[in-house]
Amino acid sequence: MSINYTPFYAKLWSDKKFKALPLSSRFLFIYLFTNEAVSLCGIYELDIETCQMRVKLGDDFKDAMNRIIGSNMVKWDESSDTIFVVNRFKHIPNKSPKVLKGVINELNLIRHSFKQEFLDLYKDDLGEYKPTLLGYEQGDVDLLTAEQIKAFMKLGWQKERLKKFYIDRGYPEQRIDAILEKILPRTIR
């Protein structure tokens, strides 16, 4: 038997927007924030019929949803049944490498404008893991640093993958080898 567990963060109860909602909207928001389809980044496909059935708000459902949308706590695309629970990622207290990797894996699968809205809000929270995001533009940023390599190693990257990543981005192989030589444990070299 599998158990689905989605943490509910206590900070939500002190959120000004949440406290300003009527009870029916709060109840619906809790569902949107914690149901089994919710993702770490808060962008997911919502089965609206299941949602309506589970929260049992009847005629109040549309008004409750509109109030949540009006508060900018969620963004809703009815044409694709895609929802973005805006503060879902913000309320995750642990931004460990494993959580950040999970968020990036989710974002790499999303083909919706909500992805860019997420990145506009939280790009600085992704830290050194941003380069693993599909479509990431490095610009003038030097990714070949000890800190960046260590971050990739925390994600489980091995020497071959590290070298390929940097070579694919046009870094000189001699420079790559020199930095890897200094950073990688002797057993990996």
Residue 52 pLDDT > 90, yes or no? Answer: yes
Residue 41 pLDDT > 50, yes or no? Answer: yes
Question: Mean pLDDT over residues 138-147, rounded?
Answer: 69
DSSP bridge partners of 77: 82
Residues 161, 93: Cα–Cα separation, whole Å = 30
H helices present in 8-81, as ranges: 16-20, 23-34, 48-55, 61-70
Residues 187, 189: Cα–Cα separation, whole Å = 6
What's the pLDDT score for residue 90?
A: 87
Residue 144 CA neighbour count, 13 Å, CB half: 21
- Kindly state the DSSP code that residue 133 receives in the 8-state scheme: S
- Kindly state the DSSP code that residue 168 receives in the 8-state scheme: H
Least confident of 53-62, 78-87, 160-169: 160-169
